[in-house]
Structure formats: structure tokens, C-alpha cells
Amino acid sequence: MTTIFAHRGFHLTEPENSMAAFAAAIKMKAEGIETDVHLTKDQVPVIMHDESLKRMTGDPRYVNDLTLSQLKELHLENSSEQIPTLFEFLSYLKEVDYPGILNLEIKTDKIHYPEIEEITLKVIQQVNVDCRVIFSSFYAPTLIKLHSMGNFECAYLFKFSDREALKLLQAGVVQSLHPRYHYALRDQAFPVRAWTINRPLQMSKCFAKGLAGIFTDELELAFQIRDNKKVI
């Protein structure tokens, strides 16, 4: 059965990638949670999608321009929610004994954070989170580095057909692909999880194709369609 991932948590009612969004996703029984990791100026892994803070906080600076204490002064979308650290997020998953899959996108495609892979792994080991973890990235060197560091489950993110994807699969660096919708519908001999699937017809086709997973902002709709509670 296709696994349904909450893309950046459930953020139709809460700020994306906030603790409230993750709590909402778990309450809605999301089978997977997808989120994004950057590094602060003082090398702390935090949860944020964009490199820039502008869209979510109004601050024009970048995540890696600020220390963690400076980031904690900001609020997400004029709410009381702050930018979570990876440690805070993983500790919460462990506290609630989250049974699903965690997809951590390492955001190195635009800013190549030094040692983000090692720092992220250290936090995961520190928390000793119980759920299954998949690492994904648009940046192949990050996946190659993770592969060299241990037997981690990795997935390559890309927008269009990409020769790099097949190279990484053949080399055993990644075990699955995370492409955009149109590429995902091709016949594949490996696990595919598609993003970002919010339209009913797209969902229906992904489920019919038997994809390994989809990343969606529309959790309730995805469950209704997959479980045949809503007719397209």
C-alpha cells in the first residue's frame, strides 16, 4: 500500500515545519512525516524548508546567518510557533512513540553546509529515535557521503528525468527515488515516492500505480481516496 507522508507536517491549519504541524500530522495518523534540515550559524541542525527566513518569519536573513538563540527570537507566520531544532523534533517523535516513517531532506542543494551529514547523524544517534528514517536530498554528494558513513536508507530527489538518479541506484548509494509527479508514473523497478501530490486525480493515479509513497499537503483527502472513501 502507498504510504502517505505529511509534507512539512500538516500545515493547512498550522505553520509548515512547526511543532504544531507535526503534532497535527500525528493526530491525523500520517504514515510518514517529511521535513527539512538546515544548519544555523553555530552549527545546530534546525527544521526549515527555505534557506531564507523571509517567507516564514518576515526576516530577510538566511538560516545560516543566525545563531540558534537568534533564530529562537523569530516566530513562524505571526504565530507563537518557533523554528524547531532537529533535536526537539526527534525528541517529540520519540516521546509520542511515532510509529511511522520519517523523511529528512538534507538541504544542501543550494548551500553546501560543511559537515551537516555528520551533525545530523549525531543528533539522531543522541535521541535514539525509534521510527524508520529515510534521508533524501537533491544534492548527490550528500547522499554519497551518507552512504559512505553507514548503512543508511537514502533517496534521491529530482524534478525531471535525471541520469544521476540511475547512477546512484546502480551504485547502491540510494535505494529509492523521490521525483516530481510526471516522472513517478513511469514503470520503475525500484521504490518511488512522488512529490508534492495534492490533486485528487494525481493521488488516484499514484495509488493505482502502486507507488511506495506520496508527499502531500492534503492528508485527509489522500486517505479518503486511497481507502476508497472518496470517488474521483
* Pairwise CA distance, residues 123 & 179, whole Å: 27
What amino acid occupies position 96? V
Catalytic status, residue 11: no
Task: Check: CB of residue 38 under 8 Å from CB of residue 68.
Answer: no
Catalytic status, residue 49: yes
| Burial tier of 199 (Cβ tally within 10 Å: 0-12, 13-18, 19+) | middle
Quickly list H helices, 178-218.
181-184, 200-209
* Pairwise CA distance, residues 88 & 65, whole Å: 21
**Which residue among 7, 11, 38, 178 is the active-site one?**
7
**Which residue among 11, 49, 147, 178 is the active-site one?**
49
| Cβ contacts of 18 within 8 Å, gap of 6 or more | 9, 11, 76, 79, 81, 82, 84
* Pairwise CA distance, residues 152 & 134, whole Å: 8
Cα torsion 197, 200, 204, 207: sign:
positive
Strand locations in 56-148, DSSP E? 101-106, 132-137
Q: Which active-site residues does the annotation give? A: 7, 49
